[in-house]
Amino acid sequence: MPVKSDLSGLKKLQKNLEDMKGARTVPITDVLTPEFVSSHSRFPDFETLLAEAGITTMEEFAAYPDDDFDSFIAANTDFESWLDMQRHGGAAYTKRQLLKGLGR
């Protein structure tokens, strides 16, 4: 008896993987989505988190002392530091991109 296979999901996964090749710059708000931030903090989105830290512009963000921001992130999120938050956000972003268009 012949077996019929639907490989469309595998082909979509392969295409998503191909689309992810190479270096790229991704906006931080695409990595730290409202869903991600709200599931790991009391803030609805990254902009609100920054505002709570007193950051309202990119210049303020760039000038904010790293140790102070690490402390803020540790005290107000599930993460130990800003780098830890970025790493987890990056992993979640990568998973979303890889599984884009596939039924879960």
Tens digits of per-residue pLDDT, 46-80? Answer: 999 999 999 999 999 999 999 999 999 999 999 99
Decide if pLDDT at 29 tops 70: yes
Number of structural domains in the chain: 1
The three-class DSSP label of residue 89 is helix
Decide if pLDDT at 21 tops 90: no
What is the reported pTM? 0.79
Residue 89 lies in a domain: yes
Residue 74 lies in a domain: yes
Residue 42 lies in a domain: yes
* Residues sharing a CB contact under 8 Å with residue 35, sequence separation 6 or more, in sequence order: none
Q: Counting Cβ atoms within 10 Å, is residue 71 exposed (0-12), middle (13-18) or buried (19+)?
A: middle
Residues 84 and 77: beta-carbon distance below 8 Å: no
Residue 16 lies in a domain: no
Confidence at residue 57, expressed as pLDDT on a 0 to 100 scale: 95
Residue 57 lies in a domain: yes
Range of the domain at 35: 26-99
Confidence at residue 7, expressed as pLDDT on a 0 to 100 scale: 63
Confidence at residue 101, expressed as pLDDT on a 0 to 100 scale: 75
Return the DSSP state at 77: B
